[in-house]
């Protein structure tokens, strides 16, 4: 089983995207690993097997969350899901904040026609907090990386209210059709969908990627929200930066009817609030939901405060031939995953 631990921030890294006859530079984003290449006719994973994996996960994960059992709870997750849940179990261990539990509605299984490994599938299911609240349709990606390894939940992304899941292309047996992560017939190859999104989230309308990305809460909205935070901190004499950055998490692309793809992928959102030059100054407050993630409650940010998130996103990636098509991020779930003050 894989858990991908946080790499150090890479600063500015370039990802070249050939689109609209322009070379697009994107800051700080790595391509995710391929989940599976082109579609095949074999069904190495059946819908029945996927159902069994999902039910087993619900049972074990709920028991672990109820008991605060990090060993069991983290043993059945990987990648973006591991980062988010590790933050939750860390908060439970340090501050006794309960690990979230959920109630699930009737699931829909999106099982791609695969041959070989890794094997993966996606579940679309209404999910609500066990403590109460509205349900949201959540996409949950499961993967078995190689023979003999356990199945893990690798990421989950909730669609906002009113957002419909796009129609997926299926074969005659009802299995979904996976795509190569480097498919050239899409507006953006799936393995750099996250990089393209990040360019707008980090740099806003000035980004060269802006013409390729639809506005929304996780693109232009993220840029506006964090720009406002940075302005507020600047008024206090602090330097605030944010970077939506790539991670070596798997990318799950599925063909849509009529062309295009639904792409699921994970990302890091790294934020730093610091005195200019990381000089020593007055204490910088730690965001409340990151305090339980500090290595020690005595950590004080006299120099800087780092508060990082991990996200899973789902985006509609239109066909390259679609007139006026834009990458549209339609689902997201994130959580605090790392905190440090110095």
Centre a 10 Å sphere on the Cβ of residue 67 and count the other Cβ atoms it contains: 11
> Does 249 or 19 have the greater pLDDT score?
249
Which band of pLDDT confidence, cut at 50, 70 and 90, is reported for residue 115? confident
- Cβ neighbours of residue 125 under 8 Å, at least 6 residues apart? 104, 105, 106, 107, 108, 137, 138, 140
Contact call for residues 155 and 81 (beta carbons, < 8 A): yes
Cut 0.95: pTM above it? no
Instruction: Give the number of domains in the chain.
Output: 1
171 lies in some domain: yes
Contact call for residues 251 and 35 (beta carbons, < 8 A): yes
Q: Which tens digits make up the pLDDT trace of 134-168?
A: 999 999 999 999 999 999 999 999 999 999 999 99
- C-alpha 1/C-alpha 194 separation (Å) is 24
129 lies in some domain: yes
Contact call for residues 299 and 326 (beta carbons, < 8 A): no
4 lies in some domain: no
Contact call for residues 263 and 253 (beta carbons, < 8 A): yes
139 lies in some domain: yes
Residues of the domain holding 114: 17-341
9 lies in some domain: no
Contact call for residues 136 and 225 (beta carbons, < 8 A): no
Per-residue pLDDT, 323 = 93
Tokens standing for residue 37:
């290449």
Q: Does residue 14 surpass a pLDDT of 90?
A: no
- C-alpha 291/C-alpha 98 separation (Å) is 15
6 lies in some domain: no
7 lies in some domain: no
Q: Which tens digits make up the pLDDT trace of 316-336?
A: 999 999 999 999 999 999 999
């Amino acid at each position: 089983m894989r858990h991908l631990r946080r790499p150090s921030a890479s600063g500015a890294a370039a990802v070249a995207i050939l689109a609209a006859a322009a070379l697009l530079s994107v800051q700080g984003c790595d391509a995710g690993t391929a989940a599976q290449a082109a579609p095949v006719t074999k069904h190495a994973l059946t819908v029945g097997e996927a159902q069994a994996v999902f039910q087993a996960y619900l049972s074990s994960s709920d028991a672990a969350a109820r008991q605060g059992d990090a060993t069991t709870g983290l043993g059945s997750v990987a990648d973006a899901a591991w980062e988010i849940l590790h933050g939750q179990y860390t908060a439970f261990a340090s501050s006794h904040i309960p690990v979230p539990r959920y109630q699930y509605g009737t699931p829909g299984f999106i099982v791609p026609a695969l041959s070989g490994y890794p094997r993966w599938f996606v579940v679309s299911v209404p999910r609500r907090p066990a403590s109460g609240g509205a349900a949201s349709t959540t996409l949950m990606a499961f993967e078995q990386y190689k023979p003999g390894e356990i199945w893990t939940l690798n990421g989950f992304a909730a669609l906002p209210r009113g957002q419909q899941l796009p129609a997926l292309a299926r074969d005659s047996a009802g299995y979904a059709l996976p795509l190569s992560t480097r498919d050239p017939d899409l507006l953006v190859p799936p393995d750099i969908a996250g990089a393209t999104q990040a360019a707008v989230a980090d740099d806003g309308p000035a980004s060269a990627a802006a013409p390729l990305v639809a506005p929304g809460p996780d693109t232009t909205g993220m840029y506006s929200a964090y720009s406002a935070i940075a302005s507020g901190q600047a008024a206090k004499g602090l330097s605030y930066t944010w970077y939506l950055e790539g991670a070596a998490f798997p990318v799950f692309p599925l063909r849509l009817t009529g062309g295009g793809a639904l792409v699921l992928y994970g990302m890091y959102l790294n934020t730093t609030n610091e005195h200019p030059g990381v000089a020593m100054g007055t204490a910088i407050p730690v965001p409340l939901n990151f305090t339980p993630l500090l290595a020690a409650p005595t950590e004080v940010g006299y120099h800087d405060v780092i508060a990082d998130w991990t996200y899973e996103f789902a985006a509609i990636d239109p066909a390259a031939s679609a007139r006026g098509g834009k990458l549209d991020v339609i689902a997201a779930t994130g959580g605090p995953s790392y905190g440090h003050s110095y």
